[in-house]
Amino acid sequence: MQAKSESPGLRNRFRRERGVSLIEIMIALSILSVVLLALGSMMFQVARYARRSTAVTYRSAVLESSTSWVQGLPWDSLPGIVGCTDSLTTGLLQYTRCVELVTTTPNSRLARIIISPSGALYARPDTVTVERTKARSPSPFTL
């Protein structure tokens, strides 16, 4: 007598469920690599735009503080700030600040401030113009 180890239905079931073929694995890996490459390039672009945004933010902060600096100086010392500084640093931004007096009248001066970033964080140079007027004398008898 011969013992049956498997029934014919069970044997056919194992033949149908043999596993994944090498071609299916290669197709799945190809699809995965295309998706990962697309995500990698997108992440690179996001990092580049974030770096530019950081540089522009620092440049705007430098312009704002330079504007406050010029507005806080005494009237008589404005001609002394004309010129360019070598290299300044604010946060992660290295820059050069140039100041020039554009218009000089007896009671009004326009100071143009040019911020030129240099270094690892780069943004285009930007300019702001500050108008300063001479304070009036509190005494009506002085000019």
- Give dist(CA 43, CA 136) in Å, integer: 57
What residue segments make up the domains of the chain, in order of their start? 10-133
Counting beta carbons within 10 angstroms of the beta carbon of residue 58, is it exposed (0 to 12), middle (13 to 18) or buried (19 or more)? buried
- Residues sharing a CB contact under 8 Å with residue 114, sequence separation 6 or more, in sequence order: 97, 98, 99, 100, 125, 126, 127
Q: Which residue has the higher pLDDT, 37 or 76?
A: 37
Residue 12: band (very low, low, confident or very high) from pLDDT cuts 50, 70, 90: low
pLDDT in tens, 17-42: 677 889 999 999 999 999 999 999 99
Maximum average pLDDT range among 2-6, 86-90, 139-143? 86-90
